[in-house]
Amino acid sequence: MSLSSKDLTLGYGDYIVLKDINVTIPKNKITILVGSNGCGKSTLLKTMARLLKPMSGKVFLGNVNIFEKSSKEIAKELAILTQSPTAPSDLTVFNLIKQGRYPYQSWFSQWSKEDEKIVNYALEKTGLTHIQHKKISDLSGGQKQRVWIAMTLAQQTDTILLDEPTNHLDIKYKIEVLDLLRSLNQYEQRTIVIVLHDINLACRYADHIIAIKDGKVYGEGEPKEIITEGLIKDVFGINSKIIECPLFKTPMCITYQNLDMISC
């Protein structure tokens, strides 16, 4: 089912962060939200995942307002990985991933062979089978992030939302995580929505980019269509030169503040 918002206004108390937001997330594509710090990317993502309640407007999953459905119902249709999630340090990889089966549990339906099969699938898909009995505290940053992604896979949702999933990771693990998400999109047709700061990685991995500025959607579309020197200047407040990446043929942004300060 498609995920969309209509006339969405978001904020905290009397402070408005985003106003009259109308977006439709393309189904079976990777959509990346970009914008400067504090522009409301994470707020929008959390609201579309039903973690925050809007001041006004609606979020639809298909034709149904998500705030009219129960948390368990929503958790069977979309999963979210928030920024810097935490878990007890003595919890094992397997036991954390199995938490993704919570929406399917009840007093009458406890842990089943089907649940175990799905957790094993999530382990295999994320390359974690060989460390499934390790404690979370013994893992590297990249491994921990793959465990959290595996937990969202165990929810078996068509849509996965991730808030800065590469935050605090070095470049090797950033690429590893983003390659994993692309694989889930391409081979399993998952709809992926990501908040990402790195504009060049956003251009490389996104099918659709939504740029946010001053509480509004500044522009949206395919990276080649909307990532321009003008957008970088307006949205991020910095000069740039946009060239084509020689490897991926996607826009590559070279930023600078003052060329006069660069010695030749």
pLDDT digits (tens, 9 = 90+) for 179-200: 999 999 999 999 999 999 999 9
Backbone angles phi, psi at 103, to 5 degrees: -60, -20
Q: Residue 264's pLDDT is what?
A: 46
Q: Residue 109's pLDDT is what?
A: 67
Q: Residue 257's pLDDT is what?
A: 85
How open is the CA angle 205-207-210, to the nearest 5 degrees?
A: 100
User: Which segment of 57-61, 64-68, 70-74, 92-96 scores lowest on mean pLDDT?
Assistant: 70-74
- pLDDT at position 10 over 60: yes
Q: Strands of 208-213's sheet, edge to edge?
A: 78-81, 159-163, 191-195, 30-34, 208-213, 216-221
Q: What pTM was estimated for this model as a whole?
A: 0.92
- pLDDT at position 263 over 60: no
Residues whose CB is less than 8 angstroms from the CB of residue 194 and which lie 6 or more positions away in sequence, other chains included: 30, 31, 32, 33, 161, 162, 165, 181, 205, 206
User: Which segment of 12-16, 50-54, 144-148 scores lowest on mean pLDDT?
Assistant: 12-16
Q: Residue 104's pLDDT is what?
A: 87
Q: How far apart are the first and last CA of the chain?
A: 54
Q: Residue 236's pLDDT is what?
A: 96
Backbone angles phi, psi at 167, to 5 degrees: -60, 135
The mean per-residue pLDDT over the stretch 108-120 comes to: 87
With contact defined as beta carbons under 8 Å apart, do 24 and 208 qualify? no
Average of per-residue pLDDT values in the chain: 93
Radius of gyration of the chain (CA): 19
CATH class of this structure's domain 1-77+158-228: alpha beta
- Model confidence at 110, in pLDDT bands (50, 70, 90)? confident
Q: What DSSP state is assigned to residue 15?
A: E
84 or 120, which is more confident: 120
Residues of the chain within CATH 3.40.50.300 domain(s) are: 1-77+158-228
